[in-house]
Amino acid sequence: MDGSFPVMQIEPEWVKDPEQMGSKEKFWFSRPDAKEKRDWLFKYPTPGTGQHWAEKIAYHVALEMGLRATPRVELAEFQGELGSATLNFATGGYELYHGNQILAGMDASYDPNKRYKQKLHTVARIFESMKQFPNKDFAEQCRRSLALYLVLDAVVCNVDRHHENWGILRRRVKEQWRGRLAPTYDHASSLGHNLRDSGGKQNRERYLEELGIKKYVERGHGAIFIDPESKKAPSPLNLVRHCSSDPSYAKYFHPALPRVAALERENVEAIIARIPENWISPIARKFAIELILHNVEQLTHLNA
């Protein structure tokens, strides 16, 4: 794993929907030089954050864990602005049917438009939603895959697994729908992406030298609730702690937990060292390493 990750240079003529670029959030593009004709999604990071490098690091952490069900992510640049590019995974006639659509279909009281602090977005409802697959063995496999996605979230402290950041891929075959669990995607809100290096009460420097990484991890509330009566959702790590000790979910999570053993310091450092220097600061690089290693240690104890 030598050298920096390559940066994809996106040409203006590759853009598929120039009109939609006004919001400066993301746009689809197609590479005419690619052997495989699949679209890519370019995403601008929120100003002042490391969402672009967080997305790339999380992708390689997933691969290191043996999690192949995640779309390819590349560092990318468009007209001098840095971002990330994600390969389209809804192909072959499949469409992405988001979690909010699934849960609203199960319960008429579920508000599919309430993305944040949606207290009915619980781990119980998400796992129950896999019942829609007629094959029970396949539904169980989907639950095991979903557990692995949530373990990945815990490793990188992805706090944005809201109800549009998971779903199923489905397509119409004659009079029936066929589907499968979508790959895990959108990990930009990970690794302390929105922290400042210094200044203010909470910053990377203070967590590393004073407060401790543990404090940051425990404060990082996710988007999946355990109890709909709670004020806040647990951190991604605490969600996995709960699920790995709950008989309703433990059988799905315990096969996933050993995957973190591949994330030794040498491997983690090698991934993060490949982010180019002008993309990430030295202290953000160090923070990301220590955060992953802290979470790996905590997850390892759960499977002891």
CA distance 232 to 285: 29
Number of H helices and E strands in the chain, helices first, is 10, 8
- Spell out the domains of the chain, with CATH numbers in brackets: 7-87 (3.30.200)
In order along its 304 residues, the chain shows pLDDT tens digits of 469 999 999 999 999 875 554 556 899 999 988 777 889 999 999 999 999 999 999 999 999 999 999 999 999 999 999 999 999 999 888 999 999 999 999 999 999 999 889 999 999 999 999 887 778 888 899 999 999 999 999 999 999 999 999 999 988 777 666 778 999 999 999 999 999 999 888 899 999 999 999 999 999 999 999 999 999 999 999 999 999 999 999 999 999 999 999 999 999 999 999 999 999 999 999 999 999 999 999 999 997 6
Find all residues with CB under 8 Å of 35, minimum gap 6, and list them: none
CA distance 30 to 49: 26
Number of neighbouring beta carbons within 10 Å of residue 236 = 28
Find all residues with CB under 8 Å of 40, minimum gap 6, and list them: 28, 29, 30, 31, 74, 76, 85, 86, 87, 88
Helix ranges (H only) for the chain are: 51-64, 99-106, 123-128, 136-156, 204-206, 213-219, 236-245, 250-253, 265-273, 282-302
Find all residues with CB under 8 Å of 295, minimum gap 6, and list them: 154, 155, 156, 157, 217, 237, 260
In the numeric block, the tokens 């199923």 are attached to 168
Residues linked to residue 181 through DSSP beta bridges, in sequence order: 168
Entry pTM: 0.94
CA distance 205 to 286: 10
Q: How far lies 123's CA from each of 197, 233, 290, in Å?
A: 33, 10, 28
CA distance 99 to 244: 22
